[in-house]
C-alpha cells in the first residue's frame, strides 16, 4: 500500500519539487502537506535542522531560503521550488573549515545539549547579515525566535557580537 494518489480518505496530493540544498540540486516528488523540515530530515537525510515544536515556535528548524531565514517546519516543501536552501551543514567551508560564527559558538560556549544550535547558527548568520547585531540588546531581540532550553543565551549573544565586531 504505497501512498501515491489522492484517495477518498482525502490524502496525498503530490507535486514536483526542484531546488538546491546546500548547493546540491534536488528533484523530488513531495506530498503537498510535507514541510520543508520533514522533507530535509526524512527524505533527504539532512538532519541538521531539528524538530523542536513543528509549529514555528522554537526556531530549531531554521534554515536559509535564498539567504533569508525561515522556520522550515512552517514552510511547505512545494513552496521552495526554484529556491536555494541552506542548512547548518552548508555553512562550513568545503574543506570543513568552520565559519567564524561556528567558531565563535565554540569559543563562547554558546551551546550545551546542541539540539537548538543548528537553528541558532542559521539565525545568527541572518542576524549578522540583516545588520541586527549592533549591540547586545539588539542581538537578544533578533535571536529571540530561537529557544535554548539549556539557557545558553549569554554565550549566543557573545558569539554573534564577537563576529559582528570582527566584521567591522
Q: Would you tell me which residues interact with another protein (CB under 8 A)?
A: 1-5, 7, 9-12, 31, 33-34, 38, 41-42, 45, 47-48, 50-55, 57-58, 60, 87-89, 91-92, 98, 102, 105-107, 109, 111-118, 121, 137, 139-141, 143-157
Nearer to another protein, 19 or 148 (CB): 148
Nearer to another protein, 55 or 168 (CB): 55
| Cα Rg of the chain, angstroms | 17
Minimum Å distance from CB 66 to another protein?
20
Q: At a CB cut-off of 8 Å and minimum separation 6, what does 127 contact?
A: 133, 139, 142, 143, 160
Distance, in Å, from the CA atom of 5 to the CA atom of 154, rounded to the nearest integer, reads 50
Q: By C-alpha distance, which of 19, 26, 114, 97 is closest to 65? A: 19
Minimum Å distance from CB 154 to another protein?
5
Minimum Å distance from CB 24 to another protein?
15
Nearer to another protein, 38 or 126 (CB): 38
Nearer to another protein, 58 or 83 (CB): 58
What sign for the dihedral angle of Cα 7, 11, 17, 22? negative
All three cell numbers of 92, joined, read 562550513
Amino acid at each position: 500500500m504505497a501512498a501515491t494518489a489522492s484517495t477518498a480518505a482525502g490524502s496525498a496530493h503530490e507535486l514536483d519539487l526542484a531546488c538546491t540544498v546546500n548547493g546540491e540540486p534536488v528533484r523530488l516528488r513531495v506530498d503537498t502537506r510535507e514541510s520543508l523540515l520533514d522533507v530535509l530530515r526524512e527524505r533527504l537525510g539532512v538532519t541538521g535542522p531539528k524538530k523542536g515544536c513543528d509549529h514555528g515556535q522554537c526556531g530549531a528548524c531554521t534554515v536559509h531560503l535564498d539567504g533569508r531565514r525561515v522556520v522550515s517546519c512552517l514552510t511547505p516543501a512545494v513552496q521552495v521550488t526554484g529556491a536555494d536552501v541552506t542548512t547548518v551543514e552548508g555553512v562550513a567551508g568545503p574543506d570543513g573549515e568552520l565559519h567564524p560564527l561556528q567558531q565563535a559558538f565554540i569559543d563562547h560556549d554558546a551551546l550545551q545539549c546542541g539540539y537548538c544550535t543548528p537553528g541558532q547558527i542559521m539565525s545568527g548568520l541572518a542576524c549578522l547579515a540583516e545588520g541586527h547585531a549592533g549591540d547586545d540588546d539588539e542581538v537578544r531581540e533578533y535571536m529571540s525566535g530561537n529557544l535554548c532550553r539549556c539557557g545558553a543565551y549569554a554565550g549566543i549573544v557573545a558569539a554573534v557580537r564577537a563576529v559582528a565586531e570582527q566584521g567591522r
